[in-house]
Every structure is written in C-alpha cells, then in structure tokens.
C-alpha cells in the first residue's frame, strides 16, 4: 500500500490510489491542510490568574491582560520571572519569555527564579537567572537568598552554574554551597559576573539603641571571574559605612533575625568602579577598586551632589544604573519604589537624573524622567525595574505587584499588562530584549481526533477527522512546519506546509492516515524534525 502525494494551488492534500480509497476511508475529494492558533485560556480557578494551555506542551504561562494605545513599541521579547507572592496566585512558577502580544516563546524550569534576562558572555548571547533558597520579597528569607546563577546558551543548554563559595553564614548559623543572592547577576565585559551576597555577622548597634554585639546582615557586592569561579572584588558596606545612616527602623536583632541595615540590591561595573545601590540607606554609591567611596547620591538631600531637582526625592529604590557616561556627565536611573510597606499608595516611579561629574554644587543633578502612570498608578513596596529601550521607550516592571508598562519617550503609557491578581504574583525585574534561539530539543507533536464543529471544521471539510498540534519550546525563528503523513513510517511523504500560528500551531489532517511527523522550517530550510506520531 502507498499514497500518491499531490499539490494544488489552494492547499495540500493526499490523493489516495483508487484501489486503496475504500480500505482507508478516504473519498475521491481532497483534504485541505488548514491551521490556527492552538492556545486555550483557562479560568477554572478563581484564586489563580488565567493561564494558557496547549495540547503539545504542559507549560502553563499566564494569559496577560493587555492594554495598548497603538503608539510605537520597542521590538523585543519580554523576560518575566513569574512567582507567587506568598500564596497561590499564578499557575506556574517559572521564568517565561513572551511576546508583547501574549504569545509564549519559552517556558523555563519550574521553581523560583530571579533576575531572568538576556546577556552577552563575550560574544555569546545567553540567558541567565538565579535559583536557590530564599526569595526577593516574601517568605522566611524575605529580601535575601543563597544560591547560584544559571547561564543557558541559545539552544537552552545549561553551560555554566555560577556558584560563589564565600564561606558566608546564614541566619541559621550554617553555611551554604552557593552564596549568590537573588538581587544581581550582571555579566561584565571583563569575563566576570557581579552578584550580591548576604552574610550574618555581629556589629555595634549602640548608635541605634541596640547592643554592642548585635546581629546584622552585611550585604556585599562581589565580582566573580567566570573562568576560575574565584572572587576578584568584594565590597562590604559594614567595613566602610556607618550603620546609623540607615532608614530601616531598628527594633531588635538576633542571629536568626539579623538587622538588615543596608540591603544591597544592584551592582554595576563602570571602568574600574562599581555602582552599588542601598535600598535602606536611600543611597547609591560609586566605589573604586580599593573599596573607597568616590561619591554617593542620596535620595533625601543629594549626598555628594548636595541637592536634587526641585520636588524630586527617592527612597527604597531598586536597579540603579549608569549610562551615557563621559568624563563630565552621566545619566543615572532607578526604579524608585518610594515606599516599603504594602499599605502606602505613593506611586512608584522611573527616575532618571543627569549628573555632572565629578559632583559639583554649581551643577546640581537635572531631572530627565519621572515616569509613572497618572491614570492607573502602581505602588510597589519591593523589587522593580526601569529598563530603557533602544527606540527611546522605557519598560518598567513593578516588582512585587504583577504589572508591566512600556512608556514612550515623554512618559506616555503605550502598553501595559497584568499577569496575576493584585498582591498575588510578582516578577523581581522584567526586561524586553532581543533573543534568537534554536532549541536542542525536537518539536513536540500531538495528534487527536477532531472535535465536532471545532474552529477548523469549515476550512478542513468533512474528509478531515484528525487534528495535529505542534510546538517547539523556545524557538524564535520558525516560519512554517512541514507535515509528513503516511500509513506507516516507511511511507511518510510530504502532506504540506502550515504557517506557524503562535506558540502552538493546530492544523487539520485527512482521515485514514496512520503516522504523522513535522519538520520546523527557518529561512526556508528544515532545521529539526519531530518524532513520528502514530494515530
């Protein structure tokens, strides 16, 4: 037995040899290969935000509620490290790559992750995220963590785990195998990675009304050589700054509940200097290689810069970043939470200042951006990101509140999304970045019987009783899938091509076939084939 395969202008069909038509139930007509998006949206649980489901994959990403104005958006993909906010609020806790049109691109391993993003390791484009014990904003280790940074290549293969061994002590009095904290994982041009870390130690708290041998967190900045895994720079705020500069209220401390007076949450390298942000001091420090403070900017009074623009202050801030740096000027930006309790309604902002370098009272900082949604403001007590985009827009992720917004250059909200119920989901930071990947895995294919009056029935016709579902987790450049069919694996021949329709493509198959296989096509070439599926 065999099939003769033919094509016509309006589609693809299997034309059975006349002697075989009755035995396999295919009539004399043709069966057109139709396709649509296979995604389904589930709302079955009132405590969990709606999620997307597929036949060919068990990944369950959120179904974003999206609003957009139609104004130009930056190109790129969204990187979201979705987590629950202390209770069940999202279907799957994982890092996700999504389009701004709500299509899944990649669902990563299940479990808490932090600071999920694309970076360059030398000339290699990679994705990175933190995993470990503790979380950024809730749980027993609220605001801290101990773990490692995972680095994946553009085939989604784990190529390195950055596991700093710094002999740090946890509040339990024990050490861990890996000491990287949740907050930072910044790969530099020097083949190093910047991480934050938290050490439990003792310090003099008498200036705050505490004991001389009180317990504190020393939250440190660390630079790790990626080739040797050895630290090449360690900066301890406890060794350089006064504890009584903190804005965090002191009540008590113990080894199991140390006082977090500094709370580091971002580190950036600039030449041989390091930009280090302290949430609890409301300050961002520039320190040199020797650990000396070159200058700092204070959210109340300007610090080394002696003033701030009129009516502008910042506090409890995250993600301090320098850019457009010259010998005389630089831009510095933050996600300015401006609150540290969930009861506050102060809107969080995306703040950018232009600094004159070195600091000079004659040239105070100038305001560049102070972005927030005036119509629907969001107050985020913890976490958050402010990420300038190449087209002049800015993406803001609201940390422990499940919102993302893309602003135009003048601060107009052009796109916004929600991925969990209020106070029920979070993503430490959110990025929008370019990413190209071809997974090392095969495309996933499932074939089922057609449901009566499904969305392909009118197009497929009565001769089509089967439906195929294909997805390829993480693929970014697939244009089409080529479908092969036959009565056994030896008789497989081309049935036709279907355009990719979102993460999962659902397509029609004619009655009577026994085996199916698909091939992913990129730039007109077959890249990888699925396994054979028997019907």
Residue with tokens 């946890």: 170
Beta bridge partners of 407: 394, 413
Q: List, in order, residues 6 or more apart from 229 with CB less than 8 Å away.
A: 162, 163, 164, 165
Sketch the domain layout of the chain as residue ranges.
Answer: 3-38+442-534
CA pair distance 17, 493, nearest whole angstrom: 14
pLDDT (0 to 100) of residue 138? 52
Q: Give the single-character DSSP code of 491.
A: G
CA distance 323 to 314: 19
* pLDDT of 31: 43
CA distance 27 to 388: 59
Q: Where are the beta strands (DSSP E) in 45-141?
A: 51-53, 65-68, 77-84, 94-98, 104-107, 114-121, 124-133
Residue 16: the pLDDT is 37
Q: For position 17, what pLDDT does the model report?
A: 32
Fold of the 3-38+442-534 domain: Immunoglobulin-like (2.60.40)
8 A C-beta contact, residue 93 and residue 83: yes
Both tokens assigned to 85: 């906010």
pLDDT in tens, 457-492: 989 888 889 999 999 999 999 999 999 999 999 999
pLDDT in tens, 65-101: 999 999 999 999 999 999 998 778 999 999 999 999 9
Q: How far apart are CA 111 and CA 95, in angstroms?
A: 8
Cα–Cα distance for residue pair 232/289, rounded to 1 Å: 10
Question: What six digits make up the tokens of 61?
Answer: 């990403």
Q: What pairs with residue 234 in β-bridges?
A: 222
Report the C-alpha gap between 280 and 104 in whole angstroms: 37
pTM of the complete model: 0.93
The residues pairing with 394 across neighbouring beta strands, listed in sequence order, are: 388, 407
Block residue for tokens 């932090």: 114
Q: What string of DSSP letters covers 115-127?
A: EEEEEEETTEEEE
Which residue, 515, 340, 318, is CA-closest to 430? Answer: 318
110 vs 220: CA distance, rounded Å: 28
8 A C-beta contact, residue 470 and residue 533: no
Q: What stretches in the chain show pLDDT beneath 50?
A: 1-31, 140
* pLDDT of 229: 93
b/e per residue, 372-389, with b = 16+ CB within 10 A?
bbeeeebbbbbbbbbbbb
What strands lie across the sheet with 231-235, from one edge to the other? 185-187, 192-203, 214-225, 231-235
* Cα 111 from chain centroid (whole Å): 13
């Amino acid at each position: 037995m065999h099939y003769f395969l033919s094509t016509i202008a309006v589609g693809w069909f299997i034309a059975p040899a006349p002697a075989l038509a009755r035995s396999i139930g295919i009539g004399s007509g043709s069966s057109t290969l139709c396709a649509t998006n296979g995604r389904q949206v589930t709302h079955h649980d009132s405590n969990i935000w709606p999620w997307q489901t597929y036949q060919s994959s068990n990944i369950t990403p959120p179904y974003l509620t999206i609003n957009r104005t139609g104004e130009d958006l930056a190109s790129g993909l969204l990187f979201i490290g979705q987590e629950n906010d202390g209770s069940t609020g999202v279907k799957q806790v994982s890092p996700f790559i999504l389009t701004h049109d709500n299509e899944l691109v990649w669902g990563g391993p299940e479990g808490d992750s932090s600071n999920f993003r694309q970076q360059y390791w030398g000339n290699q484009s990679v994705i990175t995220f933190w995993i470990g014990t503790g979380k950024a904003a809730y749980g027993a280790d609220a605001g801290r963590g101990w773990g490692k940074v995972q680095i994946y290549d553009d085939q989604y293969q784990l190529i390195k785990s950055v596991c700093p061994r710094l002999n740090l002590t946890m509040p339990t009095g024990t050490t861990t195998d890996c000491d990287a904290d949740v907050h930072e994982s910044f790969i530099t041009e020097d083949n190093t990675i910047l991480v934050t870390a938290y050490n439990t130690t003792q310090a003099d708290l008498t200036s705050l009304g505490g004991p001389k041998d009180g317990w504190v967190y020393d939250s440190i900045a660390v630079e790790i050589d990626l080739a040797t895994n050895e630290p090449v720079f360690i900066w301890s705020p406890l060794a350089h700054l006064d504890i009584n500069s903190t804005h965090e209220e002191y009540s008590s401390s113990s080894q199991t509940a140390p006082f977090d007076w500094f709370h580091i949450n971002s580190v950036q390298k600039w030449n041989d200097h390091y930009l280090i942000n302290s949430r609890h001091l409301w300050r961002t420090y520039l320190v040199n290689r020797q650990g000396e403070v070159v200058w700092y900017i204070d959210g109340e009074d300007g610090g080394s810069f002696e003033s701030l623009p009129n009516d502008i202050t910042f506090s409890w801030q995250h993600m301090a970043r320098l850019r457009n740096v010259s010998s005389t000027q630089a831009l510095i930006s933050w996600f300015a939470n401006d609150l540290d309790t969930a009861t506050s309604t102060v809107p969080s902002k995306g703040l950018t200042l232009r600094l004159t370098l070195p600091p000079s009272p004659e040239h105070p900082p100038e305001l560049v951006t102070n972005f927030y949604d005036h119509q629907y403001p969001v107050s985020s007590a913890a976490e958050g990101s402010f990420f300038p985009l190449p087209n002049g827009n800015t993406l803001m992720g609201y940390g422990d509140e499940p919102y993302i917004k893309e602003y135009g250059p003048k601060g107009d909200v052009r796109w916004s999304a929600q991925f969990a119920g209020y106070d029920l989901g979070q993503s430490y930071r959110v990025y929008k970045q370019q990413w190209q990947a071809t997974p090392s895995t095969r495309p996933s294919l499932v074939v089922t019987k057609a449901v009566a009056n499904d969305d392909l029935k009118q197009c497929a016709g009565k001769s089509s009783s089967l439906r195929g579902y294909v997805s390829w987790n993480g693929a970014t450049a697939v244009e089409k899938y080529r479908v092969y069919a036959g009565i056994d694996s030896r008789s497989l021949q081309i049935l036709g091509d279907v355009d990719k329709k979102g993460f999962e493509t659902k397509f029609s198959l004619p009655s009577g076939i026994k085996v199916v296989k698909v091939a992913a096509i990129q730039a007109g070439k077959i890249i990888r084939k699925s396994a054979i599926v028997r019907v």
